[in-house]
Structure 1
C-alpha cells in the first residue's frame, strides 16, 4: 500500500448499505466514524483503553477535524484506514493524521488530521496529560507529513 508515512496503524473497513447516502456513495460523516474507530483501536493498542482513561480521570477529546475528501467509496468496497500520531506538545494537545485507501486500486479516498485535547473526565475541562498518556501516545509519535492535494 502507498501510505503517506511509514508504519501506519491500519484497520479494515467494509462499506455497508447503512454507510450510503442519497447520492449513492458513503456519506461524509461516515468517514469521520471510520477515523474515530481507527484512532480508538490504535489508542487501545497503545495500552490506553477506557478502563485506563477512567482510572486516570483523563481522555483525549476531539477539538478539530481537517478533512480532504478525494474520492468516493461505494457499497461493498473494502477500505483501509490508517493513522499516525504526528504531533504532541506532551502537555495538552495531540494531532493524528489519517489516510483512507481503497486497496483494489490503491486510490486514496481521504486525507485528514484531527486535533485532540486532554480533558479531565470528571469536569470536561482541559487538563495536562498524565505520564501514562505521554509515554503511551509517545511510543507512536511520528513526524508530520505535509498534506498535498
Structure 2
C-alpha cells in the first residue's frame, strides 16, 4: 500500500454525502473527525478504552494537530487511514502520525501529526502517565521507515 512507516494500525472509511462541503469534496473538518476515530480505535485495540481511562482517572487529550491536505476525497471514495505512535516521553506527551490513502489510485490524501498530553480526568490538568499507559502505548511505538512530516 505504500505506507510511510511499517506496520500501521488502519481503519477503513467511506466518504458519505454528509461529509461533502459546498466545494464538492470532503470537508476539512471531517478529516479531523477521522483522525480522532482512528486514534481512538487504536487506543482501544491497545486495551486503553474509556472504561480504562475512567478507572485510571487519566486520558490522552489533543493539544496540537498539524495537517497537510494533499488531495481531495469525494463522495463514495473508499479510503484507508493509518496511524503510528512515533514519539513519547513516557511522562506527559505522545505524538501520532497519520496517513490517509485512497487505495483505488494509491494516492495519499493527507498526512498529519497530533500531539497528545496525559491529563487527570477529574481535574483536567496534566498528570503523569500511569503504568498502564506506558505499557499499552509503549507497545505500539514505531520507528520511521521514512520521514514525511
TM-score above 0.5, yes or no: yes
Aligned to 2:17: 17
Please give the per-residue CA displacement for 1:43-72, whole angstroms capped at 9, x wherever unaligned: 000000100000000000000001100000
Counterpart position of 1:146: 147
- CA drift at 1:146: 2.2
SS in structure 1 of the partner of residue 114 of structure 2: strand
Distance in 2 (alpha carbons) for counterparts of 1:25 and 1:17: 9
The aligned residue for residue 38 of structure 2 is 38
Aligned counterparts, 1:54-65, within 5 A: 54-65=54-65
The TM-score normalised by the length of structure 2 is 0.97
C-alpha distance after superposition, 1:9-52 (max 9, x if no partner): 00000000000000000000100100100000000000001000
Give the Cα separation in 2 of the matches to 1:64 and 1:101: 22
Aligned residues: CA RMSD: 0.8
Partner of 1:74: 74
**Structure 2 CA distance, aligned partners of 1:49 and 1:21?**
32
Unaligned runs of at least 5 residues, structure 2: none
Match status 1:29 vs 2:29: yes
Question: Deviation of residue 142 (structure 1)?
Answer: 1.2
Which residue of the partner structure matches residue 93 of structure 2?
93
Cα separation, 1, equivalents of 2:126 and 2:5: 30
Gaps of 5+ in 1: none
Deviation at 1:143, TM superposition (A): 2.1
Conserved 8 A contact 2:20-2:75:
yes
Alignment length, in residue pairs? 148
Secondary structure of the residue that 2:44 maps to in structure 1? helix
